[in-house]
Amino acid sequence: MRLFYLVKKELIEIIRQKELLPLLFIAPIIQIIVLGYVVKTDIEHIPVDIINLSKSKHAVRMINRIRHTPLFNVKHISHQNKDAVETLKKGEVKAVILFRDSFDSVDRKMKRETPLKYPEIQILMDGIDSNTSSIAAGYFNGIIKKYILTDIGKWGFHLPVENKTLIRFNPRLQSINYMGPGIVALLLTILTLFLTSVSIVREKEQQTMDTLLISRLTPIEIYIGKALPLAIIGTIQMFIGLGVVVLWFNIPVRGNLLYLLLAAVVFLAAVLSYALMISTIAATQQQALFFSWFSMVTFILLSGLFTPTENVPAAFRFLVKINPLAYLIKIIREIFLKGNGIEYFYKDLLALITIAVVIVSLSLLNFKRFISK
């Protein structure tokens, strides 16, 4: 019962902060919607400039295909040669596509133009944004390849070997299906980490910590009483966020959400314990917020949310293995995209449980040492 009243007291204290309630329950919804449209890897409407020096009908047809695809936004089509590098320097376009006739466009043996002679194509990309450039080049090569395969098929020619790619789990390659659930995990980390890290240090600054210490509450009860309310709020926030990504962005849920709840509880135990450890170490709320900000940035960059964790150098790979957010994001994607059960990600769940047990143990030892001072 003593623990119940402490949890009730913490919840009442949070609810009384009326300016904090919109931040807890409304701001995450707005952030998920905004980030869902902004933080995505889909490349569309890439501004390009086309220089057509070819007299081939194939060049005209290829240009029409480029113009009518949402992948590219053709700014200008020129039939006179110009400095492509200077065009890219102006920054108005990301690519310059040059069509010109090759010297052997006329078959020397037959002395006539053959129907399967295509113009030379040169693509000049702005490499400042390497990701956009590489994806745009892949899109363009795909359009040209599809056109050529269709054209030679009309003449009865077929490639002896043709690769066909079958994409599973996210066949339309929509990045929101990949990023949406991860954004929920990201916001869950930010809110719980910042709120919890200032909980105990706030008690110290307001000189109300002594009241708890002289009460009949044990150190473990005080510890749980500080963590449990925020764990409840974090769980509510997570399911609100998941509801937004499912209903607003139409992301299907293929797996069992009970597995996600289990992973979220273990994750919250790890993050809240880490935040409470920060709160006991910090002398002021400003210090606690700084430590939380530094930890949050590290968690996010090493989580695999924006870039694959395989890109992390081997020397720093251990930081990924001790990052609880990396395991939660991986489990969320396994459940949402693949519909996998626990038999597919139990190793990640066990690793997350191990991290949580270690952090909770260290945090409890540090909390007891803090109380004994």
Per DSSP, helices labelled H in 48-127 are 57-67, 84-89
What's the distance, Cα to Cα, between the start and end of the chain in Å? 27
Contact status, residue 206 vs residue 62, Cβ threshold 8 Å: no
Q: Answer whether 58's CB lies under 8 Å from 119's CB.
A: yes
Distances (CA, A) of 137 to 110, 140, 184, 209: 35, 5, 32, 61
pLDDT of 110 = 43
| pLDDT for 106 | 44
pLDDT along the chain (373 residues), means of 10: 83 83 86 86 86 91 91 91 88 90 54 66 87 84 88 80 78 84 90 88 79 80 89 90 92 90 94 92 90 92 88 90 94 92 94 95 89 74
DSSP classification of residue 314: G
Q: What is residue 340's three-state secondary structure?
A: coil
Q: What is the pLDDT of residue 51?
A: 93
DSSP 8-state secondary structure symbol assigned to residue 17: -
> What pLDDT is attached to residue 116?
66
Return the pLDDT at 323.
Answer: 95
pLDDT at residue number 105: 46
Tokens 């400003």 sit on residue:
286
Sign of torsion, CA 209 212 214 219?
negative
Strand arrangement, sheet containing 95-100: 72-78, 46-52, 95-100, 120-125
Q: Got the DSSP string for 50-63?
A: EEE----HHHHHHH
Q: Which residue has the tokens 């409840």?
A: 232
Contact at 8 Å (CB) between 58 and 89?
no
109-124 CB burial, b ≥16 within 10 A, e <16 = eeeeeeeeebbebebb
Nearest Cα to 5, choosing from 198, 210, 224, 164? 224
Contact in structure between 51 and 88 (CB atoms under 8 Å):
no
